[in-house]
Chains A and B, each alone.
Chain A
Amino acid sequence: MTISNNIRKDFPFFNQKVNGKRLDYLDSAATSQKPQIVIDSLNQYYSFGNANIHRGVYQIAEQATEQFESVRDLIKDFIHADRREEIVFTKGATQSLNWVAFGFFKQFLKPGDEILISVMEHHSNLVPWQQIAKLTGAHLKYVQLNDDGEFDLEDFKNKLNHHVKVVAVAHVSNVLGSLNPVEEICRLAHDAGSLAVVDGAQAVGHLPVNVHSLDCDFYAFSAHKMFGPTGVGVLYGKYDLLNQLKPVEYGGEMIEDVDYQNTTFKDLPLRLEAGTQNIAGVIGLGAAVRYIDQVGLKEIETHNSQLLDSAFNKLSNLPEIKIYGSKGALKHHDIISFNLNGIHPHDAATVFDSLGVEVRAGHHCAQVLMRYFNISACLRISIHAYNDEEDINQLITAVKEVQRFFKH
């Protein structure tokens, strides 16, 4: 299981210490570290390949275009889309989801329609729906959690009806780590006459994603959580639906012909990619996907789940700790959120940091879920393929240190 022993060295980030201590990075759900190969791809592009795409007639511009467009094919295969035109580059999952809400659903939602999401959604898959509901008069409804702290499928079924026009859920929760039954959710949504949107920010790069078999209508993710650069992401949409998505932005390169009063637009996917794209970012995303393929997605998944299992068991055995979500380790996909009784998460995280253990403390952009649990914040650890048992042992030591430090 120790792939991380081999791959930790691929990430220059780990060649540094924090306060003289080994760097135990347990915040990959916020952003993952980048392997040298991804950093090199950015450097290579800016040093020798920098030219704008889709417009140059010279060789270097043509090569940049080819490199950029080849990533579209790579992503299409990586998430098993049917057509390359179904892959649109965005600046991240947040923009992807906003485009789905404001570019697609805004045209169709009417007063009396319903939008169904879950209480565990990240703000990026919650606030756009809340705002679009206010704008269109549609009603926003929430699926609750079941007794095991997971997506309540029964509650979902009860809330589905022919008024529901869109169901939007996280593939993997960024707080609980739960893997939601998205395939079943999509099927049930379709049976009820609704479309289904999946926020895959915490899933891609952690587990195999197949948008074809999930049968989701839209799927969103970010490059920076899967070893790629920040500021770039993907919106997948079924061709016929994506074709009805109105550009939220207009400008260069998306047009076919412009006259004084009217414009005709290019076909998908370029119609949705206005302005100069994050070319280096897309190339970096391509390098990240190749890196994942090289390490092996299956190996990453196995490694991460074994390490998470160990972390879950070690944390569960500590006194005065509350873990949120499922009581079963196997249901936490690379993420565990918890609180230490009587100790504010920010105080704990500051002590962790002094020991080189980097975790997230806060509401994790999931304030509805925090309200659901009646807390304002919690601690979160999240792992990826470069983490190992030593990181977990250091975490446990840090938790004990925090408990000792704040105990009188």
Chain B
Amino acid sequence: MANLMNLYREMIIEYGESPHNFGEIKDPTISTELHNPTCGDVLNLQLKVANDQIVEIKFDGSGCIISQASASMMTDLVKGKSLKEAKNLKEVFSKMITDPDFKDTDVLEDAEILQGVRQFPPRIKCATLAWNALEKSIMKMEDDNG
């Protein structure tokens, strides 16, 4: 039960139930839809980018508390950041969620709290869905520019 309370910290439940940046951007620079094939959940992430900076970011779709909270925290965090910074933050999040010895998680701000997911391997996919969508979006833009 202690682990469970750690997974579902009050802040995660709040973020999950009233997601931030939920909705659609009218003319996104890029939009990426990712599926969580184990549960059928879909997440659509849209970014508006100017001068390599994320000026607007929103997501919609359906998902569990963990995936919705994670998407809320991620979008809050990377809004206003450069694509390079965003990519780096995704790396940090991935390390946090898989490596128990990784400690430099402050840069993730509120999303740091999701490290409790590490104890629940079947739920890692829920927590990383939005971050994977972010990475995929950035990679697609890099490909287009490259």
Q: Residues of B within 8 Å of A, CB-based: how many?
A: 20
What is the CA–CA distance of A370 and B122 in the complex, to the nearest angstrom? Answer: 21
- Decide: A350 near B7, CB < 8 A? Known: A344-B64, A406-B13: yes
B residues less than 8 Å from A362 (CB atoms) = 38-40
Q: Is B98 an interface residue (CB 8 A)?
A: no
- Decide: A377 near B66, CB < 8 A? Known: A346-B126, A405-B8, A406-B13: no
B4 touches A376 (CB 8 A): no
What is the CA–CA distance of A344 and B17 in the complex, to the nearest angstrom? Answer: 11
- Decide: A346 near B39, CB < 8 A? Known: A354-B1, A405-B8: yes
Chain A, Cβ-Cβ closest to B10: A408
Chain A, Cβ-Cβ closest to B122: A350
What is the CA–CA distance of A351 and B66 in the complex, to the nearest angstrom? Answer: 13
Q: Which of A351, A377, A405, A408 contacts B39 (CB 8 A)?
A: A377
B13 touches A376 (CB 8 A): no
Q: Is B30 an interface residue (CB 8 A)?
A: no
Q: Is B3 an interface residue (CB 8 A)?
A: yes
User: Which of B3, B13, B39, B41 counts the most chain A CB atoms within 10 A?
Assistant: B39
What is the CA–CA distance of A351 and B1 in the complex, to the nearest angstrom? Answer: 9
Q: Is A82 an interface residue (CB 8 A)?
A: no
B residues less than 8 Å from A351 (CB atoms) = 4
B residues less than 8 Å from A406 (CB atoms) = 8, 13, 65
Q: Which of B1, B40, B62, B64 contacts A347 (CB 8 A)?
A: B64
Q: Is B42 an interface residue (CB 8 A)?
A: yes
Chain A, Cβ-Cβ closest to B125: A346
A residues less than 8 Å from B122 (CB atoms) = 350
B123 touches A350 (CB 8 A): yes
B residues less than 8 Å from A377 (CB atoms) = 39-41
CB distance from B12 to the nearest CB of A (A): 10
Chain A, Cβ-Cβ closest to B65: A347
A residues less than 8 Å from B65 (CB atoms) = 344, 347, 406
Q: Is A367 an interface residue (CB 8 A)?
A: yes
Chain A, Cβ-Cβ closest to B2: A354
A350 touches B39 (CB 8 A): no
Q: Is B63 an interface residue (CB 8 A)?
A: yes
Q: What does the 1/0 interface line of A345-386 toward B look like (CB < 8 Å)?
A: 111001100100000011100010010000011000000000
B63 touches A344 (CB 8 A): yes
CB distance from B51 to the nearest CB of A (A): 37
A residues less than 8 Å from B40 (CB atoms) = 362-363, 367, 370, 376-377
CB distance from B43 to the nearest CB of A (A): 11
Q: What does the 1/0 interface line of A374-408 toward B look like (CB < 8 Å)?
A: 00110000000000000000000000000001101
Q: Residues of A within 8 Å of B, CB-based: how many?
A: 17
A residues less than 8 Å from B64 (CB atoms) = 344-347
CB distance from B25 to the nearest CB of A (A): 22
CB distance from B61 to the nearest CB of A (A): 9
User: Which of A344, A345, A362 counts the most chain B CB atoms within 10 A?
Assistant: A344
A residues less than 8 Å from B4 (CB atoms) = 350-351, 354, 405
CB distance from A351 to the nearest CB of B (A): 6
What is the CA–CA distance of A344 and B65 in the complex, to the nearest angstrom? Answer: 7
A residues less than 8 Å from B123 (CB atoms) = 346, 350
A residues less than 8 Å from B7 (CB atoms) = 350
- Within 36-62 of B, Cβ neighbours of A (below 8 Å) are at 38-42, 62
A376 touches B62 (CB 8 A): yes
User: Which of A345, A346, A377, A406 counts the most chain B CB atoms within 10 A?
Assistant: A346
B residues less than 8 Å from A408 (CB atoms) = 13
B residues less than 8 Å from A350 (CB atoms) = 4, 7, 120, 122-123
A376 touches B41 (CB 8 A): yes
CB distance from B118 to the nearest CB of A (A): 13
What is the CA–CA distance of A344 and B122 in the complex, to the nearest angstrom? Answer: 15
B residues less than 8 Å from A376 (CB atoms) = 39-42, 62
What is the CA–CA distance of A377 and B39 in the complex, to the nearest angstrom? Answer: 6
B residues less than 8 Å from A361 (CB atoms) = 39
B residues less than 8 Å from A367 (CB atoms) = 40
What is the CA–CA distance of A408 and B65 in the complex, to the nearest angstrom? Answer: 14
What is the CA–CA distance of A124 and B49 in the complex, to the nearest angstrom? Answer: 42
Task: Provide 26 A-B residue pairs closer than 8 Å at the C-beta atoms, listed in order of the A residue.
Answer: A344-B65, A345-B39, A345-B64, A346-B66, A346-B126, A347-B8, A347-B64, A347-B65, A350-B4, A350-B120, A350-B122, A354-B3, A354-B4, A361-B39, A362-B40, A363-B39, A367-B40, A376-B39, A376-B40, A376-B41, A377-B39, A377-B40, A377-B41, A406-B13, A406-B65, A408-B13
Residues of A near any B CB (own CB < 8 A): 344-347, 350-351, 354, 361-363, 367, 370, 376-377, 405-406, 408
Given contacts A345-B39, A362-B40, 8 further A-B contacts (CB under 8 A): A346-B39, A346-B64, A346-B123, A347-B65, A354-B3, A367-B40, A377-B40, A408-B13
Identify the 5 closest CB pairs spanning chains A and B, nearest first: A344-B64, A363-B40, A376-B40, A346-B64, A362-B39
